[in-house]
Structure 1
Amino acid sequence: MVAPPDNDVIWARSLHHSHRGSPALAGVSLGVREGEILAVHGARGSGKTTLLQCLSGQLVPEQGEVWFNSAPVHTMPPLQRERLRRDRFGWIGPEPALVPELKAWENAALPLLLRGVSRRAAKTTALEWLERLDISSAAPKRPYALVRAEQQRVAVARALVTTPSVLFADEPTAALHSTDRTHVLRTVATAARSHRITMVLATHDADVAALADRAIMLADGRRAGSSQTAEPEGRAACSLSV
């Protein structure tokens, strides 16, 4: 097992994983620095979701290594990986996956409540994020009373409410109209940069990928190339290799 570079928050080497015998990842390696927004760009079925699930500890790769701040995620027991996801990571998926019995602000505040934060403090923080996402009017409503775009904004607030060390976003605006998509993405990118949140963004949309500091391409579970879209202020983007 090889220790990762000290300046990488997330580092992965030679990841392999398959679903029902079909390869989803075939030797993907990457590194992401603190505060960097990395886009993983590729067509549907290219392995983007599987890669993010391996990096975030939701899946254990069949081969390869995943490190977070020099801690080996791939060898952690399930409970430790669960705590890591709860305490240090945020996740936005293509589906809102809200708890139907909870109000919008309670859904957004849920990660804080699970950490033991007081209900009042959790509500205050949740409302701040809902306001940033222009969805504060929905705070007292339950998911069934919200349209899909509103539900997704609540899910975005839920992912940001803890100010995670790493935010994983898997096609986070796939179901939104272009106007909503632009606003939500800019809000997430601004939050990531202002709070030094490292972000790994999976998308099949080239315009979405262009918002990142750097992009890599996946095709059939392999790295197909990389490009730097913008250099983070104060440092050069790190190079990746497979």
Structure 2
Amino acid sequence: MAPPDDHVLWARDLEYAHRGSPALLGVSLGVRQGEILAVTGPRGAGKTTLLSCLSGQLRPQGGEVWFNGVPVHELAPASRDRLRRDRFGWVGESPQLVPELTAWENAALPLLLAGVPGRQARKTVTEWLERLDIAECARTRPAGLRQAQRQRVALARALAHKPEVLFADEPTAPLHRADRAQVLRTLTTAGRTHAITVVLATHDPEVATLADRTLSLVDGHTSAAPEAVEDDITCSLSG
């Protein structure tokens, strides 16, 4: 079955188990260009595994993942690496910054790896650091930053190259309420103003309200919100 033409990201019957313990059990979903989809559910529900399969970090053990007509599940590891580097962005619960690099150098990594000149890369990431209110930290290494600042640098890194799809896995979990609001506002505004498709995993119902649509995940099964089914946005949800 070919994915619908209006879906930038599409998955069908995804299966995955960690050391024999099922994480995904026949998960299907579709996401349109520029849509912000919140994947909700308790910790251990399979949200990280789902985002990892959709982004090509994990190859599903069953089912299909398509990105703009490209069968991600069939790509070789090197091709999936290029896809993640050039077309996707990722921000998780842990910033995973390079300790030897400054904040702006960490944020500029995707641009520099893509061959963007240093001056241009610095100008671009400086604009994102300013939007996230951490421009004054540009020359500071991760060890000198607070947790909230490191998380903002990670978000700037994920957005700097204007990815087609941004995967955000509990990006505000380690933040205080005020910092959480700032990060979420920047993330959702960037998605809508730059037509970036966002797949946001969260266990926080308040965070999910900022999305266009919500998909709940419990014990490896998905279910769509009633309005999503009525709009025929999600197809073939199992469980």
- The TM tier, using the shorter chain, reads over 0.9
Q: 1:227: how far off?
A: 4.9
On the 8 A contact 1:98/1:107 being kept in 2, the answer is yes
Matched residue, 1:232? none
Matched residue, 2:178? 179
Q: 1:240: how far off?
A: 3.5
1:215 partner amino acid: T
Compared CA separation, residues 215 and 41, structure 1 to 2 (3 A): same
Alignment of 1:196-207 (within 5 A): 196-207=195-206
Q: How many residues align?
A: 235
- Determine the C-alpha separation between the residues in 1 that align with 2:24 and 2:126: 39
Alignment of 1:58-69 (within 5 A): 58-69=57-68
1:209 partner amino acid: A
Matched residue, 1:241? 236
- Determine the C-alpha separation between the residues in 1 that align with 2:160 and 2:106: 10
Post-superposition Cα deviations, 1:5-47, rounded to whole Å, max 9, x if no partner, equal 1100000000000001000000000000000000000000000
Matched residue, 2:28? 29
1:120 partner amino acid: R
In structure 1, the residue corresponding to 2:64 is in which secondary structure?
strand
Give TM-score, length-normalised by structure 1: 0.95
Larger CA deviation: 220-229 vs 9-18: 220-229
Post-superposition Cα deviations, 1:104-145, rounded to whole Å, max 9, x if no partner, equal 000000100000111111011010000000010100100000
Matched residue, 1:111? 110
- Determine the C-alpha separation between the residues in 2 that align with 1:228 and 1:120: 46
- Determine the C-alpha separation between the residues in 2 that align with 1:239 and 1:97: 32
Q: 1:237: how far off?
A: 7.1
Q: Does 1:78 align with 2:73?
A: no
Post-superposition Cα deviations, 1:146-166, rounded to whole Å, max 9, x if no partner, equal 010000000000000000000
On the 8 A contact 1:215/1:227 being kept in 2, the answer is no
Matched residue, 1:233? none
- Determine the C-alpha separation between the residues in 1 that align with 2:235 and 2:167: 18
2:222 partner amino acid: R
- Determine the C-alpha separation between the residues in 1 that align with 2:224 and 2:26: 14
- Determine the C-alpha separation between the residues in 2 that align with 1:66 and 1:86: 17
- Determine the C-alpha separation between the residues in 1 that align with 2:224 and 2:159: 30
Q: Does 1:209 align with 2:208?
A: yes
Compared CA separation, residues 228 and 108, structure 1 to 2 (3 A): farther
Q: 1:183: how far off?
A: 0.9
- Determine the C-alpha separation between the residues in 2 that align with 1:144 and 1:201: 27
Matched residue, 2:8? 9
Post-superposition Cα deviations, 1:52-105, rounded to whole Å, max 9, x if no partner, equal 000000000000000000100000000000000000000001000000000000
On the 8 A contact 1:216/1:227 being kept in 2, the answer is no
CA RMSD of aligned residues (A): 1.1
Compared CA separation, residues 37 and 237, structure 1 to 2 (3 A): farther
Percent identity of paired positions between Structure 1 and Structure 2: 63
On the 8 A contact 1:8/1:69 being kept in 2, the answer is yes
After superposing on structure 2, the runs of 4+ consecutive aligned residues of structure 1 that deviate more than 6 Å are: none
Q: Which runs of 5+ in 1 are unaligned?
A: 230-235
In structure 2, the residue corresponding to 1:3 is in which secondary structure?
coil
Matched residue, 2:217? 218
- Determine the C-alpha separation between the residues in 2 that align with 1:227 and 1:178: 29
On the 8 A contact 2:31/2:233 being kept in 1, the answer is yes
Matched residue, 2:56? 57
Give TM-score, length-normalised by structure 2: 0.96
